[in-house]
Structure 1
Amino acid sequence: MLEAAKLFFTASRWHGEPTVREPGRCTEWRRWPLTALPEPTVDYTRAALEAISRGTPYTAAGWN
């Protein structure tokens, strides 16, 4: 079985405040320090956030 690719993007500019557009999937937006992410945080999400914070544009986390 093939696993779907997970892509993460960083914004260089924006305006306004984030809003929940899919309330059946997400109940709220909150900001968390990278060193204190909530549990459970999905492993690939944690790996992507850590890579982005290091300035690493790509990670193969989760791929054998």
Structure 2
Amino acid sequence: MIERFVVVPASYVFLLRPGTGDGDEVLLQLRQNTGYMDAHWAAAAAGHVERGETAYDAAAREAREEIGVDVDDLSFVTSMQRTRHAELVDERIDFFFTCRAWTGEPRIVEPAKCAGMDWFPLDALPERVVPHERFVLDRLGTGVESYTTFGF
């Protein structure tokens, strides 16, 4: 019997607010103790989609669990099929959302996994951002395709 490969789904939420200049700012967290891209900035809320859960539901749940906010309105940005071509990892399907309205004040809820949280202008992101997330962030507001690939 041929074994099928496994695709791992995840949802990402980029909280956006008007910046002090012309563009928007995005809330990012500094990863630590996760075993993946530690010491890199990443979406403030992200995680795997659980069995029986939609990508939208996962995004809302992750926002509550990781930054303590209830998202009022999620806007779908793109889905990304990705892999790390040279390494043996599961293939991934990621769903990216933005949110401009939420209830609660974003805060670090999981300090063991998050070394910091800050707002950054979209046109002045920190140097170390998780690469596939930066791919999406660099294209926000420029008409990013509804389906993208990364790592092939």
Equivalent position amino acid for 1:60 in 2: T
- 1:57 positional shift: 5.5
Question: How well do the aligned residues superpose, as a CA RMSD in angstroms?
Answer: 2.1
**Higher RCO (CA 8 Å, separation ≥ 6 residues):** 2
Residues 1:7 and 2:95 aligned together: yes
Structure richer in helix, relative to its length = 1
Among candidates 23, 38, 51, match of residue 139 of structure 2: 51
**Deviation >4 Å, runs of 4+:** none
What residue number does 1:32 align with? 120
Question: For residue 19 of structure 1, what is the amino acid of its counterpart?
Answer: R
The letter for the 2-side match of 1:33 is P
- Structure 2: segments with no counterpart, 5+ residues: 1-88
Distance of 2:142 and 2:114 partners within structure 1? 27
More strand by share: 2
Deviation for aligned residue 1:23: 1.2
State the secondary structure of the residue aligned to 1:9.
Answer: strand
Give the structure 1 partner of residue 18 of structure 2: none
Percent identity between matched residues is 33
Number of residue pairs matched by the alignment? 64
